Structures are given as C-alpha cells and as structure tokens.
Chains A and B, each alone.
Chain A
Amino acid sequence: MASGKEVQETRIVSRRLHDVESSWTYEAARADGAYDMLAAVLAAADPGDVLTQVKTSGLRGRGGANFPTAVKWESLPADHFPRYLVINGDEGEPSTFKDREIIEKDPHAIIEGVAIEAFACNISKAFIYLRGEFALGYDRLVQALADARTNGWAGTDIQGSGFDLDIVVHRGAGAYICGEESALIESLEGKRGMPRIKPPLPIHSGVYSKPTVVNNIETVATIPPIMRMSGAEYAKLGVGRSTGTRVVAISGHVQRPGIYEIEFGMSFREIIFELAGGIRAGRALKFFLPGGASFQWLVNIDEHLDQTYDIDDISAKLGTTLGSGAIMVYDETTDPLLVAWRLAKFFAHESCGKCTPCREGTGWIEKVLYRMSHGRGRPEDLDLLLSLCASVSPDVMHAPFTQTTICPLGPSPVSAVASLQKYFRDDVLAACSTPAGAPA
C-alpha cells in the first residue's frame, strides 16, 4: 500500500464464526463468552443503558438502509403493548451472503442480541424471519434457541430476572421481496409478501398492526459486541457517521471471494486488491457493484477505486450506496450487458406485482436487455431502455433514485441501465447494430 499500512480485517461481529470450532453449538459459543453480555445487562437491570450504548456506538442498520438503530428503538410509541421485535434474515439481494454466514455459524450471537434488544425495548415476543432456502441455518438456529431455552437464556424469567422473552424462528418460502420490511411483515402474517404503503411505519403499526422494531441479522448480532466493548469504543472505529465495522461479501472474479469484516473507511482498492487478492488469472478489473444488485456500478478508475467504504461519502461523491454489503467484481472478459440483463431478469421475476410501473416496467426492461445482450440489440435500444426506466424511476441518472412504486424494487434494475449509459454507452451502441424491424 502507498501508506505502507497492512490491510486487514477488524473482526468484531465475525470473530467467533472464524475463530471458534463448531461455533454454532451452545457449548462452544458459551465457552467463548456468548450470553455473558445478556447476563450483565439483566443483572444491571437498566434498559436505558443499553439504548445509550447503542446510541453512542452510532450503529446504523446493516440491512442496507443505514437507519440509526437507536433512533428506531426510540421511535417506539410509549406504553403501547404488545409490541414486537422482528429480525430480518431474508437475505436475498444477489451476491449478498454475510447474514447466511452469521445464521449458520453464530446463531447464539443472534439470540443474545435479540434478547438484549428486547430487554432494552420492553418487548416480550420476537420473530426471526429466515429465508426459506436456508435449511441448514434454520436447523442451527432452532437448535440454538432450544439450547438457549434449556439454559435459561430465553423463555420465562430469564436468569431469574423476571424478564420474559418468547422467540419464534419463522421460515419464508422463496420471495426476494420479503426482505423489504413491510412485505416481510405481511409474509409473517401468512399473506402474500407485498409491501405496504407507508406511513404508517412498522415502528408504529407493524406485525398484527402493533408497534414493531425490524432489524437486520448483522445489526442484532452487533449488539453483544457493542455492550462488551462499550458504545464509545465501538464509535472510535470507522469514519464520520459510518462507525464500527461492516461484514462485506465479495464475489465474482477475485482471487479470494468470501466475507471480510472491515472497519469503515477502507478503500475499494484495498478491499478488492488486498483483502480479496485482486483479479483472477492475471486479468484486469472492468467494473464492480459496490453495494449489491440494486445500486449504480463503479468502474476501473482511480476515483472509484480510491473511494472509501463510507455510507455517506460514497453517496455524496459517486451517487451510489453500500447497500447490502455485497461487492461483485467483474474482469475485462465480462459483458456488462449480460450482467445488466441477468439483474433485470431477477427483478422482473421477483416483482410482487402490486405496483404497475414495477410489474410492467421490470418485464419490459428485461425483454429489451435480453435482445441487447444476445446479439439482437438495435441502435436505439439504450435510449428505449432509458425511457422505460423513466416510468419506474423518473430521474433515471441520479441517485438517490426517485420512484413511482411503493418500494425500491422497481427502480433497482434502473441502476444497471443508468450504469450502462454512464460507463459503457459506446460499447453498448457498438454491440447493438441490428436494424429496427428485424425479428426480436
């Protein structure tokens, strides 16, 4: 590195799952200190201190929206019961796999975090909504919960404190949209997973129309370490309002794909070329997606590679976001049109159908991108795409995207089209030379 400093992970949330053998078992996790912080919190009997620590830590939601966790808790209407805690483990954003690692390898961190959070928010019923396809994760979390109950860390009168908490592990059944919090709540109520119009927000009217806190798996798993190190110590990590660490999932044409827990402030160059070992087979980087499938891409230029992993800085400077914590990396042999088409196909398949611009728009965007990426594109197709995109997301080229839909799924494939227009317009036009009127 230019600075000479060694690029390395800062393992806070992911430490146990890397360092402890059979970390998902009660015995191994407990020996490693699982539930120590829950015991301390219950012994101190001061829910306000948990809120203070989390607030001081600066923790922001790790599902992708970056909302300050403590502010969400504080928004719970006072004296309104019952109230619920829902943990979002419906990880489905393409190339995002950090929550799956935590669910499969450190379920006790999730249960401990849930219990501490529920105690702080005076909640006695929590649901952990797991993506249906995570069969192993479900088995491990259900076993972990049973062991936690047997050992007095969940259920009634936890550790003799008088605090009761019932936790239910709920499996989804295959629907990306259920990662959107209001769709997840609908699904948890046994309905089709279609997003609700907001307001009201779930914090005021969520599951069964009761106040509901919805937090991501990584967010809740970060709570025990924050209590262990104190909010102030956690806040010393990171940069600006992006405090602490983030578990990022790197995939694609890198030497060492996988999850890496990094302190905010690392550059994409360090993440891709140091941590993940650079591009495979001696090839060159072509482009990368810095925050999952739904946001604008970045390319192989210094301005983008030197961008720091910083929630606010990246959106201010480059108009994209860190999203779900996924980074997809593509080498020079990759056709950006093919990637854009496959993303559009995904969003068209996963559109719930509630809002017309998304139901129709994602399908048409996919159809046009299909012919463009399969050798039958026409010169006017990119502009046709941009006009289609404008009906889903009126200000196509500028983030944060505007939307004509209830939830952000509709505008998601628009990010890929905007990226084609921004960085690959000449390549796309060169690849699309089929005359109009030729068979599609």
Chain B
Amino acid sequence: MTALRGAGEVIAQYPDPHSAILPLAHRAQDRDGWLSPEAMQEIAELVGTTPADVLGVCSFYTMYKRRPCGRLVVSVCTNVTCLVVGGPEILEHLETRYAHDPDVFVEEVECLAACGNAPAMQVNYEFHEHLDPVMAVAIVDDYKSGQLTARGVSGGRR
C-alpha cells in the first residue's frame, strides 16, 4: 500500500486535522478500490485519532464501501422522479445483468440531482442521464472494455 498522495496538503487546509477524515477516505478509496481497515488505521494516524473514530465516521456515509466492491460502482436512482420514468426498471435490468460480475457493483441510490434528464445513474460518480435499460448496459460495458475511462471508485480523477 503506497502512502496517501497529498495527505499533508489536505490536512493543512483545515484548522483542525480531524476535518480531513472525509477527503482522506475518498483518496484511500480511489487508491484501493474500497475503504479497508488498514486505510482507516492509516487515516487515524494521519489526523491523530483512533481507527474506531474513523470507522465510526466513515460508516455513516454511503459512498464509503467497507468491503471490496469491484472496480465499477454503478449507482442507479429510483427516487420520485426516476421512479415514474423508468428508474426501477433500469436498476432491475442492471442487477440481473451484472449479478455475477466481480467488476461491477450495482446499487440503488437516492436522488442524484439529475431529475431534469431522468432516469439517471452514475458510474464511479460520472453522470449518465436520459437512460433506458439497453443504453445503461451499453454504458457499463463501455467502462468494462475501457472505451470509457472510469474515475476512481470514490469519484476522484485517477
């Protein structure tokens, strides 16, 4: 495990190093593909707190994946606008299609603020809007094949 890139600069932005837990956890997740206990230990040492504190904080937030989840996180919205224009159908289609694919983690998420072009999903936090089930699969497949370049699992630039 390489040390977290730019950790010192991130911490220095804040009057209190504890504020750096969320940004450091994003960096760790982009680096490792998930937020491991080792990474949380590393963050605890960097900001001067306990690993239990870091776990307690990070477990509150849905973006942190505390077990390996594959290299593509596909987040499908089913909230009240996507609900009435086909979001749940896209979710079901993707869940079935990638049920046994170790690269792809499909999750149902709350409103992504893409309601003007619903239904919508994100792949590693890149927006894809105006979807139907067939388009959604084509997009995920393009990421799998490298036709589209994915962000990190936490949405950071690689």
Chain A residues close to B by CB (< 8 Å)? 82, 91-97, 99-100, 125, 131-136, 138-139, 168, 170-176, 187-193, 208, 249-253, 257-259, 289, 293, 326, 328, 330, 334, 338-339, 342-343, 346, 349-350, 352
Selected from A93, A125, A190, A252, the residue in CB contact (under 8 A) with B21 is A190
Contact B13 A192 (CB under 8 A): no
Query: How far is the CB of B37 from the nearest CB of chain A, in Å?
Result: 17
- Residues of A within 8 Å of B25, CB to CB, are 173
* Contact of A192 with B20 in the complex, beta carbons under 8 Å: no
In whole angstroms, how far apart are the Cα atoms of A334 and B81 in the complex? 11
Give the segment of B58-66, B96-104, B131-139, B141-149 that binds chain A.
B58-66
- List residues 22-58 of chain B with CB under 8 A from any CB of chain A: 22-23, 25-26, 47, 56-58
B1-35 Cβ-contact flags toward A at 8 Å (1 or 0): 00000000000011110111111011000000000
Smallest beta-carbon distance B53→chain A, Å: 9
Complexed CA–CA distance, A94 and B14 (Å): 31
The answer to whether B79 touches A346, judged by C-beta atoms less than 8 angstroms apart, is yes
Q: A173-B26, A190-B22, A190-B47 are contacts. A258–B56 as well, Cβ < 8 Å?
A: no
Q: Which 9 residue pairs are nearest across A and B when measured between Cβ atoms?
A: A174-B62, A135-B155, A173-B61, A251-B115, A135-B125, A174-B63, A190-B21, A190-B18, A192-B60
The residue in B21, B113, B151 that gathers the most chain A C-beta atoms within 10 A of its C-beta is B113
A95 contacts which chain B residues (CB < 8 A)? 79-81, 111, 115
Cβ–Cβ < 8 Å partners of B80 in chain A = 94-95, 289, 293, 328, 339, 342-343, 346
Q: Are B84 and A174 in contact (CB under 8 A)?
A: no
Q: How large is the interface on B (under 10, 10 to 19, 20 to 34, 35 or more residues)?
A: 35 or more
Question: Nearest residue in B to A138 (C-beta to C-beta)?
Answer: B155
Question: Contact between A93 and B19 (Cβ–Cβ < 8 Å)?
Answer: no
Given A95-B81, A168-B13, A343-B80, A257 and B118 touching (CB < 8 A)? yes
Q: Which chain B positions have C-beta within 8 A of A330?
A: 84
Q: Does any Cβ of A come within 8 Å of B67's Cβ?
A: no
Cβ-based interface call for B110 (8 A): yes
> Do B16 and A208 touch across chains, with their CB atoms under 8 A apart?
yes
In the docked arrangement, what's the CA distance between A99 and B118, Å?
A: 17
A301 to B62, alpha carbons, bound, how many Å? 40
**Bound state CA distance, A250 and B15, in angstroms?**
40
Asked if residues A133 and B155 are in contact (CB atoms below 8 Å), the reply is yes
A342/B79 in contact, CB under 8 A: yes
A94 touches B18 (CB 8 A): no
Q: Which residues does chain B contribute within 8 Å of A352, judged by CB atoms?
A: 60
5 contacts between A and B (CB under 8 A): A132-B61, A170-B23, A175-B61, A259-B116, A349-B110
Closest to B25 in A: A173
Q: How far is the CA of A251 from the CA of B57 in the complex (A)?
A: 34
Beta-carbon contact of A133 and B81 below 8 Å: no
Q: Judge whether B110 and A350 touch: CB under 8 Å.
A: yes
Contact check, A92 vs B113: say whether CB atoms are below 8 A apart: yes
- Shortest distance from the beta carbon of B100 to any chain A beta carbon, whole Å: 26
What are the residues of chain A within 8 A of B83 when measuring CB–CB? 338-339, 342
Q: Provide the bound-state CA to CA distance between A172 and B115, in Å.
A: 20
Which residues of B sit under 8 angstroms from A176, Cβ to Cβ? 110
Are A257 and B22 touching (Cβ within 8 A)?
A: no
Closest CB in chain B relative to A110 CB, distance in Å: 16
Alpha-carbon distance between A93 and B122 when the two chains are bound, in angstroms: 17
Contacts of A253 in B (CB 8 A): 84-85
With A172-B61, A189-B16, A258-B116 already in contact, 12 other A-B pairs whose C-beta atoms are closer than 8 Å: A94-B80, A96-B113, A125-B15, A133-B122, A172-B22, A175-B60, A190-B18, A190-B21, A259-B116, A328-B80, A328-B115, A346-B110
B63 & A132 in contact (Cβ 8 Å cutoff): yes
Q: What is the bound-complex CA distance between A368 and B156, given in angstroms?
A: 40
Are A190 and B57 neighbours in the complex by a CB distance under 8 Å?
yes
